[in-house]
A = this chain, B = another copy of it.
Amino acid sequence: MCRWLAYGGEPIAMETLLFKPCNSLIRQSLSAQRSIAPTNGDGFGLGWYGDLARPGLYRDTLPAWNDSNLRSLAEQIRSPLFFAHVRASTGPATARLNCHPFRWDKWLFMHNGKIGGWERVRQDVEYMIRRDLYPSREGSTDSEAFFYLLVGNGLDRDPAAAFARTVAQVEAVMRANGVEEPLRLTAACSDGRRIIAIRYSSDRQSPSLFYGGGCGVEVECGEVRFGAGHGSVLVLSEPLDEDISHWCEVGEGSFLVAEDGKVRVQPFAPAVLAAA
């Protein structure tokens, strides 16, 4: 189980959210509170939007708490929309290529969860990736494969439909291979404008998902402060501080879109696939 955070709103230095809160993501890398894996030390990643459509990417295999480059980048880079992820591997090797977020064109994707029986279904799932996208697949994680399925299923045109279809396809492959472990998906993606997140599991035991927001965000003495109003949104695995009034939990089977500082949550269900 991993931990992640997505921010959209007025441009802020990434360190504001990554290092300053009392339960900051970097602190979660050493000891997450709501995670079955308290140590998320199997690499980390940062994706951010700047002047270009294509986002920046910085990933490495050191624990996040330990990386002097990460500290400097987080201090220097101001961004209106960024993703950060600390990894606790569910199997695939610790390697930069297996660190989240993943990037394709203008899209970023990151994930906390697992495709059940990944070793058994991987070859089939990979073969379903659209031919022209396949050269971009670099690692061996279920998360990256899921992302390229999403892209091939029209993430760019209709994200909700792309998720619904991809989940259905993956569940079909799992069934076909006799997998009984669940698919668990607490994931986020962005095109640089919207933050799209999902919380869904085939066994209704998804990793947690929260959001919060307001008119601007600051951190003082480890506590997050949102201004009244809206404009800035955080979507994340677990709250950054103890003040529960800041954070809304997103329920099982939900699809979230944050855009222009507003958050919409709608129910999510896999698509019904036509019989082959």
Contact = CB atoms under 8 A, between A and B. Distances in A.
Contacts of A97: 93, 95, 97, 140
A122 interface: yes
Contacts of A42: 63, 66
Contacts of A52: 75-76
A30 interface: yes
Given A56-B75, A63-B41, A68 B50 contact: no
Contacts of A68: 57, 59, 93, 96
Given A75-B52, A123-B126, A95 B96 contact: yes
Contacts of A75: 52, 54, 56
A131 interface: yes
A210 interface: no
5 contacts: A39-B39, A57-B68, A57-B69, A93-B96, A139-B140
A50 B72 CA distance: 11
Contacts of A127: 123, 126-127
A137 B135 contact: no
A56 B41 contact: no
Contact count band on A? 35 or more
Contact of A41 (B39, B57, B95): B39
Contacts of A76: 48, 50-52, 55-56, 77
A77 B52 CA distance: 10
Interface of A: 13, 30-31, 39, 41-42, 48, 50-52, 54-63, 65-66, 68-69, 72-73, 75-78, 89, 92-97, 119-120, 122-123, 126-127, 129, 131, 134-135, 137-140
Nearest to A59: B69
A174 B230 CA distance: 55
A128 to B, nearest CB: 10
A65 B41 CA distance: 10
A243 to B, nearest CB: 27
A254 to B, nearest CB: 32
Given A41-B65, A55-B76, A62-B94, 4 more contacts: A13-B51, A59-B69, A66-B89, A66-B94
